[in-house]
A and B are shown apart, each in its own frame.
Chain A
Amino acid sequence: MSHPTFNLDGQDIPFSEGQTLMEAATAAGVYIPHLCHNPEFTPHGSCKLCTVKVNGRNCSACTFPASAGQQVLSNTRELNDTRRALTQMLFVEGNHLCPGCEKSGDCLLQATGYHLGMLNSRFPHFFPHRAVDASHPDILLDRDRCIFCELCVRASRDMDGKNVFGIAGRGIHNQLVVNSPTGLLKDSELTVTDKAAQVCPVGAILIKRHGFETPIGQRTFDRQDIGTEALAREQTAEGLTHD
Chain B
Amino acid sequence: MTEKLTVATTSLAGCFGCHMSFLDMDERLLELMTIARFDRSPLTDIKHCSERVDIGLVEGGLCNAENVHTLREFRRHCNILVAVGACAINGGLPALRNHIPLEECLREAYLDGIGVEQPGIPNDPELPLLLDQVHPIHEVVVVDYFLPGCPPSADVFWKFLTDLAAGREPSLPSPMLHYD
Chain B residues with CB under 8 Å of A129's CB are 99
Query: Which of A100, A125, A216 is in CB contact (< 8 Å) with B135?
Result: A125
Is A128 part of the contact surface with B, judged by Cβ < 8 Å?
A: yes
- Whether the Cβ atoms of A97 and B96 lie closer than 8 Å is yes
Docked-complex contact B93 and A114, CB < 8 angstroms: no
Q: Is A127 an interface residue (CB 8 A)?
A: yes
User: A113 contacts the other chain (Cβ, under 8 Å)?
Assistant: yes
CA distance A125 to B61 in the complex (A): 12
Given contacts A97-B93, A105-B180, A114-B177, contact A119 B133 (CB under 8 A): no
Q: Is residue B77 within 8 Å, beta carbon to beta carbon, of the partner chain?
A: no
A239 at the interface (CB under 8 A from B): no
Q: Identify the interface centre among A117, A121, A122, A128: most chain B CB within 10 Å of its CB.
A: A121
A121-B95 CB under 8 A given contacts A98-B150, A98-B180, A99-B180: no
Which residues of B are in contact with A by a Cβ distance under 8 Å?
83, 86, 89-93, 95-96, 98-99, 133, 135-136, 138-139, 143, 145-148, 150, 172, 174, 177-180
Q: Is A161 an interface residue (CB 8 A)?
A: no
Q: Indicate if the CB atoms of A99 and B150 lie closer than 8 Å.
A: yes
Given A104-B180, A125-B136, A222-B178, A98 and B86 contact (CB-CB distance below 8 Å): yes
Complex-state Cα separation, A38 to B133, whole angstroms: 36
The answer to the question of A165 belonging to the interface, with a C-beta cut-off of 8 Å to chain B, is: no
**B20 to A: closest C-beta gap in Å:** 15
Q: Closest approach, in angstroms, between the C-beta of A25 and any C-beta of chain B?
A: 21
A residues sitting closer than 8 Å to B (CB atoms) are 91, 95-101, 104-105, 110, 113-115, 117, 119-122, 124-125, 127-130, 216, 222, 225
Complex Cα distance, B93 from A216, in Å, reads 17
Least CB separation from A131: chain B residue: B99
Measured between beta carbons, the chain B residues less than 8 angstroms from A125 are: 90-91, 95, 135-136, 139
- The B interface, classified by DSSP as helix, strand, loop or mixed, is mixed
The 8 Å CB contact of A91, one of B90, B93, B180, is B90
Measured between beta carbons, the chain B residues less than 8 angstroms from A128 are 99
Among A91, A117, A121, A127, which residue has its beta carbon within 8 angstroms of that of B177? A117
* A100 CA to B180 CA, complexed, in Å: 8
Supposing A104-B179, A110-B179 touch, asked if A99 and B92 sit within 8 A by C-beta, the answer is: yes
Most buried by B among A110, A117, A120, A129: A120
The answer to whether B96 touches A100 (Cβ under 8 A) is yes
Compute how far the CA of A222 lies from the CA of B136 in the bound complex, rounded to whole angstroms.
25
Minimum CB–CB distance for B178 against chain A, Å? 7
Tell me the complex Cα distance, A129–B96, Å.
Answer: 10
**Contact: B86 with A97, CB < 8 Å?**
yes
Are B174 and A225 interface neighbours, CB within 8 A?
yes
Report the bound CA distance from A115 to B90 in whole Å: 19
Q: Which chain A residue lies CB-closest to B83? A: A120
- 10 A-B residue pairings within 8 Å (CB atoms): A97-B86, A97-B90, A98-B86, A110-B180, A114-B178, A119-B89, A119-B177, A125-B136, A127-B98, A127-B133
Find out whether the CB atom of B146 lies under 8 angstroms from the CB atom of A119: yes
Residues on B with C-beta less than 8 A from A114 are: 174, 177-179
CA distance A98 to B145 in the complex (A): 20
**Which single residue of chain B is at the shortest CB-CB distance from A105?**
B180
In order of increasing CB-CB distance, the 10 nearest A-B pairs are: A99-B150, A98-B179, A129-B99, A127-B98, A119-B146, A104-B180, A120-B146, A98-B180, A99-B180, A121-B90
